[in-house]
A and B are shown apart, each in its own frame.
Chain A
Amino acid sequence: MGKLDPRLRHLAQRLLVDRSESAAVRALAAEETELAEILIRCVGSATLQALRQQGAEIDSVIPGPYLAVSGRAPFDRLPSIAQLPGVAEIEAARPLVMDLDQSLAATRTTVLHEGDPAVTGEGALVAVIDSGIDYTHPNFRHADGSSRIRFLWDQRGPTLPGGPVPFGREYTQDDLNEALRLTTPHQSVSHTDRNGHGTHVAGIAAGNGRAGDTPFCGVAPGAELIVVAYRGEGVTIGRSTRALAAFAYVVEKARALGRPVAVNFSQGMNGGGHSGETVLETGLDNLAREPGVVLVKSAGNEQDWNIHASGTVRNAQTTAVELSVQTNNRDDDVVEIWFSGEDRISVEVETPEGERLSPVALGHRRDFLTRAGNSLFIESAVNASDTGDTRVTLILSLGSAAFIQPGIWRLHLHGDAIRHGRFDAWIERSDRSVQGEQTRFSPGSAEPSSTISIPGTARRIITVGSYVTRPADGFGAPLGQISNFSSRGPTRYGVQKPEIAAPGELIISARSAHSLEPQRPDQWHTPMPGTSMAAPHVTGAAALVLGVRPDLNCEQVKQILMRSARVDGFASTAPDNVWGAGRLDCGTAVEFARSARFPVIGGVVVRGKRVSWETDIPTTGAVRFHTHQRQLQLGKSLGSRTHLTFDTRHEVDLSDLDPGDYFLEILAFSQDNWWSLEDNQGLLLRLHIPDGETERAGVPVEDEPWVMVDGVPTPWSP
C-alpha cells in the first residue's frame, strides 16, 4: 500500500470496511462509477497488461525512464495494483476546481507534502530578492497569525543611522509580528509590495496555502523566509550593486541562524559577454561556493525579442549584422559584440540613410555624429573583463535629434586578421513599456541561441527555463511545451544553460493587496507568466533538498535537481539548451538527495608535469586545463586528461602538452556519478611545461612540488 498516495490509501482501506465512504469516493471517481481516476508511474509494457487485467482502463501512456500512465481503476483493486512489481507509484487525480496546483502536481511536489513524514522544507530558508512582499498575506503567516518571515530588508525604506543594513531599513520577525497584531499593520511596518512580483514569487517558492477557500500551496511551505525589497526605478526592478548586497545579506542572515538557504532571483539584464564574466556574476559564483547556499535565477524571457546575433567573419571579408530601430526610440541603445582575442575585427556602422561611418579598428574608440543628428560611440576593448576576448561596445543615442533614426542600421564587421572568426552580439534591454523603444536584430541577423539573461550565465548558479502547465488563453505554447519566451543557452563558452525547466506559464500564486494585479480567482491570488515564476519552483525544490541535506552546496544541489529531472513528452530532447536537464521533479530530487554522496578531493600535489590527488571514496577523475586562467574559471577548457580507474589515489601525466604555463582544475566522479570539483577556491592550480631547449640544456626541469594547505599552494617535501 506504500505506493498509493495518502488519499487513495485512506479511501482504499476505508472501502474495505465501509462502502459508505461514497461521498469521498465520488470526489475522486470518474463520473458515476466507482473507478478512481489515477496517474501511475511504472515500468515495462508487461505492467500495462497487468494493469488491464486488474480492471484498469488506460487513457494515455507517456514514455520515459518511467512510464506515466493516466486512466481509471476500481477502488477495490487499488491494493492489488499497488502490489504489481512494475508499479512504482499511484497518485490520485487532483480536483480541477481552480487549476491552482497544476505546477505542484507537474513537479511531483504534492507527494512530498503528503508523504509520511512530510517533506516541506522545514529547517531551510527561502530568500526572495525582488520587489518586496505583502507580509500580511495569509500564505506568509503561521496558523496563529504570526509571520513566517525572519527578516525583511526594505532597501527603499528610510535609512536608520547605525542600523544593521547599509541603506534602507531592516525589519525582524518580531517587528513584523508586532505590526501584525495591529488593526493597521502598515502604520508600524510601512513596507508594501506595490509591484506584486515579489509576493507572487515568494508564494510559489514558500507559500503555505492558508489563503482563500481554494488553497494554493508553494513548493516549500515549511520553510521560513528572508525577503529583500529593492527600490525600483521606473520599469527596472533593481540594480546590480544592490542585488549583490541583497545576496550577501541573506547569506549572512542564514549563517547567523545556522540554516541553509535557497535564494531566488527572478530578474536580469542583457548587457555582457554571456560567459559569466560580469562583475555581478563573479560575485554570485563566489557566493555559490558556500555549503548550505543555493542560488537560483530565472532564465529570462528574451526568446522572442531577437536580442542575440552571431556569425562568422572570414579573413579579408566582411559580415553585416542588421539592427532594426523602431520609431519613437529615444533611450540609448547599447550593443556589445564579443569575439576571440586572437582575431582582429574592425567595425563600421552604416545608418539607415546609407551614411557609412569610419571603421573602428581593434583597440580603438571613436565618437560619431550622424547626418541625422544621432550620436554613436564605438569602443573596441581588448582583453575585456580579463577574458582575453575583445568587446566592441556601440552606444547609439539621440545626440541633437528628437529620436534615434528608425530603420535598418548595419554593422559591418571586417575580418582584418582572423584565426577563429566567431562573433556574438547582444542588445541591452530598453523600456519595453514604451512602444518602439526596444531595438532588435533583424530576423535575418538574429540567432535564437544564447539568450539567457545575465546573471543567468554565471557558472555555479542554477538557471531555470519555463514550460506551460496552464496555457494562456490561446496564446503561447501548448500545454507541456517550453514557453515561447523562455530564454535559451548555451553561454558564449558553450556551457549548457538553463540547468532545468519548471512551470512558468500561467502560475497562480499570492497576490499583493497593494498591487493592481487582477484578483483571480480571488483577492488572495493572481496569475502571472514568466521564467520569474519558474525559478521559485526550483528555489522551493532546493529548500526541500536542503531541508533533508543542509550540508550541500549549490553545485551539489544542482546535480541532484538535474539528475532527477524528467525527460518525458516535449522534454524528451533534454539534455539541451532549451530544457536543460528536463522538467523539475521534486519527489525524485529529495529521494536522490537522501543518499547522494559526493567525493571529497584532497592531497593535491603538482610535481613537474604530473598532478596527483586523493579522494575519500573510489572515483575516476579528470584534469581540465587552459592557458588562460579566466577562461577556465568561466568553464572553457582547451582539453582534459582523464584517470579512468576507480581508485582513491589518482595521477595524471600532462607531459604531452605543449610547453607553457597552464591552469588546471580537477574533477572526481563517484561510482554513482556524483562529481566534485577542486579548483583552489577559484584560483585554479598551476603547472609549467618547459620547452625542449630548456631540458636539453640540463636545466633542472622538475619544479619544486607543492600541495594545497588550507587552499594555499605550499612547498612540499616527503
Chain B
Amino acid sequence: MNEALLEKTDARTRRVLSQGEPGSYEALIRTASLITAEERARLEMAGFITFCVVGTVLSGAIPSSGCLDAVAELPFVEEIELSRPLYEE
C-alpha cells in the first residue's frame, strides 16, 4: 500500500485491503474535476474497469490491490472508496 493510497482512502477501505483477500475490488472514485478522455485512458491503463461516470464520480472494478496503488497515484484521483453494503429499509 503506497503513500498515495494511504492518503486517498479511508480506514474502512484500508482495513479491507489489509485483509488481503484475493480477487478484484469494486470502488467509487472521486476526481478533482470532470474527467477528460485522456485521464480516463490513464485510469484504464492503471487497471480500472469503468462501470459508469457520473460527473466527478466513477464506479468500477479494480482487478488487484496492486492496481489500486497505481490508481491512487494518478494526480486527478482525489478519493477512493471501496464498495459498501446497502440494506433494505
Binding site for B on A (CB under 8 A): 130-131, 166-167, 195, 197, 233, 235-245, 247-249, 266-269, 271, 278-280, 282-284, 286-287, 289, 298-301, 332, 334, 365, 377, 379, 381, 384-386, 391, 393, 395, 429, 453, 530-532, 682-683
Check: B69 CB closer than 8 A to any chain A CB.
no
Contact call A237/B86, Cβ cutoff below 8 A: yes
B30 CB, nearest partner CB in chain A, Å: 5
CB within 8 A of B86: which of A166, A268, A531? A268
24 residue pairs from A and B, CB less than 8 Å apart: A166-B50, A235-B87, A239-B26, A239-B85, A239-B86, A242-B83, A244-B28, A245-B59, A248-B53, A248-B54, A249-B52, A268-B87, A271-B12, A280-B28, A280-B84, A282-B57, A283-B28, A283-B59, A287-B54, A384-B10, A386-B79, A391-B10, A453-B89, A532-B89
Q: A233-B85, A267-B86, A386-B79 are in contact. Are A241 and B56 (CB under 8 A)?
A: no
CB within 8 A of A279: which of B49, B57, B61? B57
Q: How far is the CA of A269 from the CA of B15 in the complex (A)?
A: 18
Q: How far is the CA of A236 from the CA of B85 in the complex (A)?
A: 6
Please give me the residue from chain B that is nearest to A528 by CB atom: B88
Main SS class of interface, B: strand
Contact call A240/B11, Cβ cutoff below 8 A: no
Chain B interface bracket (under 10, 10 to 19, 20 to 34, 35 or more): 20 to 34
Contact call B12/A386, Cβ cutoff below 8 A: no
Query: Chain B contacts of A531 at CB under 8 A?
Result: 89
A436 CB, nearest partner CB in chain B, Å: 17
Q: For window 1-21 of chain B, which residues contact chain A by CB distance below 8 Å?
A: 10-12, 15
Check: B60 CB closer than 8 A to any chain A CB.
yes
Check: B81 CB closer than 8 A to any chain A CB.
yes
Check: B78 CB closer than 8 A to any chain A CB.
yes
Query: Chain B contacts of A238 at CB under 8 A?
Result: 85-86
Q: How far is the CA of A267 from the CA of B30 in the complex (A)?
A: 22
Q: How far is the CA of A233 from the CA of B61 in the complex (A)?
A: 17
Contact call B57/A334, Cβ cutoff below 8 A: no
Binding site for A on B (CB under 8 A): 10-12, 15, 26-30, 33, 49-57, 59-61, 78-79, 81, 83-89
Q: How far is the CA of A242 from the CA of B82 in the complex (A)?
A: 11
Main SS class of interface, A: mixed
Query: Chain B contacts of A429 at CB under 8 A?
Result: 85, 87
Contact call B88/A266, Cβ cutoff below 8 A: yes
Query: Chain A contacts of B60 at CB under 8 A?
Result: 241
Contact call A244/B11, Cβ cutoff below 8 A: no
Task: With a 10 A CB-CB cut-off, give which of A167, A244, A386, A530 has the most chain B CB atoms.
Answer: A244
Contact call B52/A271, Cβ cutoff below 8 A: no
Q: How far is the CA of A531 from the CA of B83 in the complex (A)?
A: 23
A194 CB, nearest partner CB in chain B, Å: 13
Q: How far is the CA of A174 from the CA of B56 in the complex (A)?
A: 34
Q: How far is the CA of A377 from the CA of B18 in the complex (A)?
A: 12
Contact call B83/A239, Cβ cutoff below 8 A: yes
Query: Chain B contacts of A278 at CB under 8 A?
Result: 81
Q: A238-B86, A267-B87, A269-B87 are in contact. Are A279 and B30 (CB under 8 A)?
A: yes
B21 CB, nearest partner CB in chain A, Å: 14
Contact call A381/B10, Cβ cutoff below 8 A: yes
Contact call B89/A266, Cβ cutoff below 8 A: yes
Query: Chain A contacts of B54 at CB under 8 A?
Result: 244, 247-248, 283-284, 286-287
